[in-house]
Each structure stands twice: as C-alpha cells, then as structure tokens.
C-alpha cells in the first residue's frame, strides 16, 4: 500500500489547566463529571443497597461459619472501617488487625467483594434532553450505606 493513499489527519490538542477553560469545549449534552448525584430519596435507596450488602455479608458469614469462624462486631467494624478508608481515597486492600490466617482471609474476602459494590450499583443521571448516563455510586453515599450496614449488623450480632 502506498503512503499517498492514506490521508493525513490533524489532531486538535486542547491545552488547558483550568476546568473552566475546558468547559468551553464540552459538547452541549455533556456535563462536568463533578456534578453531585441527585438521589431523591436517600433513605429508600440506602435501604435497597443495605439489602444487597446484607446478602453478601450473610454469604460470607455462612462460609466463615463452616470454617469455624464466627463474625463478631469487631470483625464487621474492621471490614467497614477499611471500606470507609478506601472510599476516602486510601489504597486499602486488606482489613487491618492481628488475627489467624484463615480468619484474616475470610475478612479480606468480604472486604474484596464489598469494595467493588459502589461500581456495581448504578444511578441514572439525565445528561441531555433525550439521553441518560449511568454513574457509579458517589463515595459520600457509599459511606452512608456503610454506616447503615454497620449499625444493622452490629446490633444483630451483638451478644
């Protein structure tokens, strides 16, 4: 193939360091991603998410029980605190604390599954007159859901 058949393309480069300057280049139906999610009924939504989190936690609790490990409120709090820390920007990949190898693995498995949930739970955002966009859950709302999970589970499993 000859090079003269391939058309040359010029790529337009936008050099801007301020978000306000970049907004001039957005297409009309595209909005800035920093827009706050509008969750009309936070209580209903957090309840829906809580049900999902309780199922996941229950499955892990049952698996742990088969290994001879019973989840204690301290275990639940440690997992949820690691999730909160991750939601606030830390690179947590494990539940901190001293415990047996199997016990640690069970808690880390629960953490690993729950840490993915905010990206699995989608909210719709109207992005134009005829279009919507699906966004992952915001960290602030995720932390609210974790608080509710902690309150619910720790009351349920307290001796």
Please state the domain extents for the chain: 3-157
Mean pLDDT taken over the chain? 82
What's the whole-number mean pLDDT along residues 94-121? 92
Taking the model in full, what pTM does it have? 0.70
Between 157 and 123, name the one with better pLDDT.
123
- The 3-state secondary structure of 19-42, one letter per residue: HHHHHCCCCCCCCCCCCCCCCCCH
- Rounded to the nearest 10 degrees, how much is the dihedral formed by the CA atoms of 66, 155, 138, 35? 170
Show the beta-strand stretches assigned E in the chain: 122-128, 131-136
Interval 19-61: pLDDT, tens:
666 666 555 554 444 445 567 778 888 899 999 999 999 999 9
pLDDT value for 108: 95
Tell me if residue 135 falls in helix, strand or coil.
Answer: strand
Q: How confident is the model at residue 6 (pLDDT cuts 50, 70, 90)?
A: low
């Amino acid at each position: 193939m000859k090079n003269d058949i391939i058309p040359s393309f010029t790529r337009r480069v936008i050099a801007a360091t301020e978000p306000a300057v970049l907004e001039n280049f957005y297409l009309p139906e595209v909005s800035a991603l920093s827009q706050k999610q509008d969750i009309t009924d936070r209580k209903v939504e957090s309840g829906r998410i809580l049900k999902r989190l309780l199922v996941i936690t229950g499955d892990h609790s049952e698996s742990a029980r088969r290994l001879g490990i019973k989840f204690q409120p301290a275990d639940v709090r440690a997992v949820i605190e690691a999730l909160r820390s991750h939601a606030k920007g830390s690179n947590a990949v494990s539940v901190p604390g001293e415990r047996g190898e199997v016990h640690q693995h069970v808690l880390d498995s629960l953490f690993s599954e729950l840490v993915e949930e905010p990206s699995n739970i989608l909210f719709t955002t109207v992005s134009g007159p005829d279009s919507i966009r699906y966004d992952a859950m915001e960290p602030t709302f995720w932390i609210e859901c974790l608080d509710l999970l902690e309150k619910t589970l720790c009351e349920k499993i307290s001796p």
